[in-house]
Structure 1
Amino acid sequence: MAATQVAAPHAPGRLGEPIPAVDLLDYLAGLDAWLRDRRATLDGLDGELRRLGAQGADAHPDAGGNRAPTTLATLTGDLVLAMSMWQSVNDRVTELLRLWDSGRADATAREAMSRTIWGRLRSEAGQSGQTTLPEGTRLTDALLTQLRGRLAFDVEHADIIARLRRALASIVRSEDHADVGSDLQQRCGQLRAAHHRLREDSMRGADIAGRLRELEDAVARLERDAIVSAATRREHRRDADRAERLLAELGERVAPLRDLVERCRREILDPPLLAVPDPQRLGPVPQGTAVVDYLQRLASVERAMDVVETQYARPLRERAALRYRLGTAQQRARAAGREGSPTVVAARGEASDAVEHTPCDVTLATDLVEQYEYLVQPLPHARERRGTS
């Protein structure tokens, strides 16, 4: 609660004398404002005590910042006493309003009002002794001042408490995102220590507004960095999972590629001179930012494997295609009646030997198959004779 802004009104007149109506009107207006203000103060203090009770607080610093003997039960008792005194004042004001009768009070009624103001009243708690109405307002204010001092509870402090709580909550969220031993965790520890110092200084009544703003700025940067760090770690984990899958896939390709290379070197003359990359030589999948570079290296290995597969498979495919072309050309020779020609027979034998020879000279075999394909074509004059007939 804030330090009380509405002062207790000055009581007019004396005991047993009629009080001027104008003075009574001003006094009643002042009492009404005072009652409403003190009620709000009491409600705020009651809410703070309830919060402390819900948090299991056993002690609270006193006005000097010492943690001794102010227990929650003691504070609650003081608050009950202050509420009792406020109620006694409120009852006396209710009686004054009845006598005032909306301004129709005569001299006798105004004299009775002076007795109500200056006569002794007793708290319902029976602990405040007999007091006049002005003494009741002063005693209530004194009790509230004492409670506010013990709780350090004014509007500014309440705002500071709320800001400190928000800052601490932000630090805790950042700690949840921080890795053990990381720079982020160290910053969390430093800001938590700074928060603790500010809280202690606030309880002692020190002005921490400037330092609190600095802490809030630092905490905001910390939480932003923590969020970015958490998102980056999630991305790195996804990259690591992708790297694990890609590493496994490339590892499964190694054995078939080596078989392909071995076959090509066995069956083809002058095969490509390329080695099969081994992805396992990259080592295990790293964690953190290193996984990005690891993925790039895996991609390079994948491209190299594709090149090896293409280069070693091409001559084998070409040899298989030459076998097919040779068979097709033989069918054309039979259809054209050229199958028995010594030239065609010799060309076919030469081409077939070149294709089936191991290791196969693919370039020579290609030339001989093309030569055989040319020889099996129908002779020009034979085409003319078929056309004439």
Structure 2
Amino acid sequence: MTTAPIAPGRLGEALEPAAIQRYLGELDTWLRDRRAELDDLDQTALAAGRGNEVASDMQLALALWQAISDRYQLVFATWDGGRVMQQERERISALVWGRLDGAAQMPGGLAVSMPEACRLCDALTGQLTATLSLAPGAVETAGRIRDVRAQLERIRDQVGLEPASTRESAAHRLAGLMLRLDSIADRAERGADVGGLLGPLEVDATMFERDLIVGNARRRDARSQVLSARELRADLEQREAALEKLAATCVATVSPAPRFAVPDVEALGPVPVTPDAIGPYLEKLDRVSQALEFAQHKYADALAEHTDLVALLDSYVAKAHALRIGDHPDLAASEKAARDVLDRRPTPMAIARQMVATYQTWLQTEGNKS
């Protein structure tokens, strides 16, 4: 199972460019692999008639994935291919380690950072895999034992974050899991079949890890409404700045581009401290968050369409060369015209669509002759 990358730095620290680049690359791979895993699990559950059984965990895992993906887009836009100064690197740190919005389907509306959401998504995926009995019939027992041992070490770190009132019971539960794993490892070394013991241990470990992460997030979310409002407002300011850059990139790349006003967080005024005023202020922050998310998707979709058109033209050209007609004068001229339009900034999208469609028509016409 894919494991989320370790996030660099900490909140308030300007991240090093090399660490940002590495993390973005690893996170992009994790997002792709994790979505494929969740899709496979969902299809398997439906095919087995167990969709209702895992619906809540699947919904939560997908909500987490979407929230992480949305935040990744903002970080990537702020990264801007490495053209970052001190201010941008601090903004990226705030986006990575600040409160993650978009996972509203989490129990109790939990406020988690992106690294915590990644770990929770890992734990949920592991639990779903074990529940659906997809885990590792083909994977060697030694590898499974190693994975569980690594998971228990992650749990040990989480136990250290527990408050004094619950830390002892959590440590006792962890000790029980470690004893079970040691016993299973000993039996496996003696050649015994431990599949029936290892599966339940994997389920118990993933559920415990999930409980610890959720519990830790709930305790943080129990802070005062004023503190929550300040955190959300600071995060919205970072998202606003990142969205402005994404919007500028979109407007410079495609025409017509979406035209959505980026909400001005400053216009909301300072965070109030009175009980009567903080509730309505939080509602305003939530509406601004929704507006930012809506605009982000619109700008990202417009940029994605341009990328998709370029990829579609590339595929048509590859097919033409495979048919040995890529150098045909009409096809070559059509390709050049299409690429000239796609390379223009901003690209007139209506014309670009027509030019790519024209190349496709030439390809079909000449392909039928050959």
TM-score, normalized by length of structure 1? Answer: 0.36
Larger relative contact order, structure 1 or 2 (CA cutoff 8 Å, min sep 6) = 2
| Larger gyration radius, structure 1 or structure 2 | 1
